[in-house]
Structure 1
Amino acid sequence: MDRVSVFVVFALNGALYGSWAPRVPAISAQLHASPGPFGLALLCLTVGMLIVASLSGRLVERTGARAAIAGSTLLSCVLLPLLGLAGSVPVLGVMMFGLGVSVGAFDVAMNIAAVGAERRAGRPLMPVFHAGFSFGGMAASAAAGLAAAAHWSPVRHFTVAAIVVAVTLLLVLRGLPRAVPRQERNLPGPRVAPARRPVLWLLAVVALCSAIAEGASADWSALLMVTEHGMGEGSAAFAYAGFSLTMAVTRLGGAWVQQRLGSAATLVAGAVLAGSGLVTAAVVPVPWPAFVGFALAGAGLAASFPIALSLAGAAGRRADDSGGEREIAFVTTVAYSGFLIGPPLIGGVAQGSSLSAAFVLAGLVAALIAPAAVAAGRARHRELTALEPAA
């Protein structure tokens, strides 16, 4: 039951994002906003997520994943309709910051719950849970398109979406893990701060590179197809659609691959696939290989972020099977910075050279996941060896 509940929660998180992002043009038109200030208002979402991620580990450690997920999800459901009621760009920025805080806490809490479900199952499950996020986002995006076609206002659409998310959450809430009472915990010795552990920095690099490469595909793939491959805007949109679909489908089988190849080998193979796919999309002047390249990139990046968080949780595991909250929060915080670094990095390279060159860079960033994953495995092995009692 807990695995089904965690999967549904991941889908709800994806649905929250997939509900508002496609309605950005309608919100912009409603506010008569110019691109610069409107872009800063949207950036407030990432800022809110980044700030709260570093604090969420301690919060979940105290309250448990169930309470943290319930509180952050219901807060998101309250804030989502307010986006449609914002009467000015500054007010929208405040609402976006609040939504970033709630969704960021939700994100960390659900990943902590997922690690707990993995431990109870005794096998990898994180890629499957993240498939729930992908499919939830795709379903909500399709619903947003239908709402826009039916001329629903953003506030009407967001209100309906928030009600659906809240009701679904209440149906699965009992299946989520509760807090472990403090007196039941076995916490031997002082804990090492996550920032002082090389293995967590290396796992954070894996998640960061994945976030930058994924963000580049989301933000710039359509423009690459238009400007470098001569596609029309309608056809160009299928580049990211293919990326998202292959990512979602690959995540369903990612746990199976991870169980058979091991975490490091799965990350290395995915990095090679993603890097080669993005470089192919950038340098081959024919449109159809570019579509294939983005599909390969989606498949290659599918398991990177989930496995990085799973390994972070494993690095924080205690003898009583608890732990990992702060480690997951640390890796998530570093990864979120990729959503701040990525857009100006790709845009700056494109401005100074070309969008093709920028995507070659994105491919190289994706390829960096491979050495970081190998180094993380070695660092973890050194930690475990140091903990072994002397013969």
Structure 2
Amino acid sequence: MVDVKVPSVGESISEVTIASWLKKDGDIVKLDEAICSIESDKATLEISAPKAGKLKILVKEGETVAIGTKVAEVDETASAGASAPAAAAPAPAQEAPKAAAAPASTGGDKNYPSPAASKILAEKGVDASSVQGSGKDGRITKADAMGAQAAPAGATASDSSLKSLAHQTMASSFSREIRREKMTGLRKTIASRLVAAKNTTAMLTTFNEVDMSAVMELRKKYKDSFKDKHGVGLGFMSFFTKAACAALKQYPAVNGMIDGNEIVFHNYADVGVAVSTPRGLVVPVIRNAESMGMAAIESKIIELATRARDGKITIEEMQNGTFTITNGGIFGSMLSTPILNAPQSAILGLHNIVERPVAVNGQVVIRPIMYLALSYDHRIIDGRESVSFLKAVKEMIEDPARLLLDI
């Protein structure tokens, strides 16, 4: 037997919660195959099988254990056929069936989506049971979820059954039942950090609006050639990251933080990008974003966001950022007041792009407008600096040539 123990996941973390078992007790696992998802107060990580063999689970889902605790064992002597008895030969049938039977599930992960796949399926309104997984033992991967489509109305049910389903759904929507669910370690940490940020900082938010016409036109013109050359799409986040880095050079207090009786200024920009995951909001950090090109920023954002949603982001990748950008626009937010990501002193909030009537040279025209919000710690950042910072970001987005000319 080979022990499976909880690994160290950070200097300040002494215990974790068994979030879920990705394999069942008695399953045959491969070397380095993910078998368990653990959750600390800062991140969700996976434990891999140290050897190939038969899995014996010792700790149930939801239990909290100390670092180094043995949570399972792997029997190296077990063979691949040990997990299930051989099926008996079927009796000869007198009449062959008209259609082939559906293949049986080959493992415990059938229709079990990864965290990233689960989020995509939820957004699309697709039931996981209707998706054929292509991963190990039929597990639904992110690619499977992206290609899945919700069944059209009437495709699997008659009009009468649809009406019955609608009636049941309406009735269940108004049920007076309640459901209690234990807060995860990550959710508890998010809650305490947000309350601490509100209680220990003099937080204020300033707003502005930005005409996205120039960036959208530039993106439309070069997105194909950009992707052909760099292998990554040209999104809006790289424009805002570059604009924010340039503005941080002009207004260093926005990139600073308070440490006791001192103000710490950073000559670099480690920009955190808020990512929504199935288990809560995390903020992976792009190191030295000020020295990176657009393609490098886009690639890094995709890499970090994917790993965060898959629960594979590390503690180190979420620590020591100097400034944060959060994009509520992807969920349809028109305007918000983002909360500081302490100990940072400022956070830039992006929102959805909406065609609005605006006055240009005395004429009313329709332009794609985004509202920007900068929440900041008034103890270190004055109103003049915060407003000027946001205005600088606005000007660079409305005239992207400024990003190239550094003006």
Q: Quick check: which has more Rg, 1 or 2?
A: 2
TM, length-normalised to structure 2: 0.21
Structure with the larger helix share: 1
TM, length-normalised to structure 1: 0.21
Structure possessing the higher relative contact order (Cα contacts under 8 Å, 6 or more residues apart): 1
Structure with the larger strand share: 2
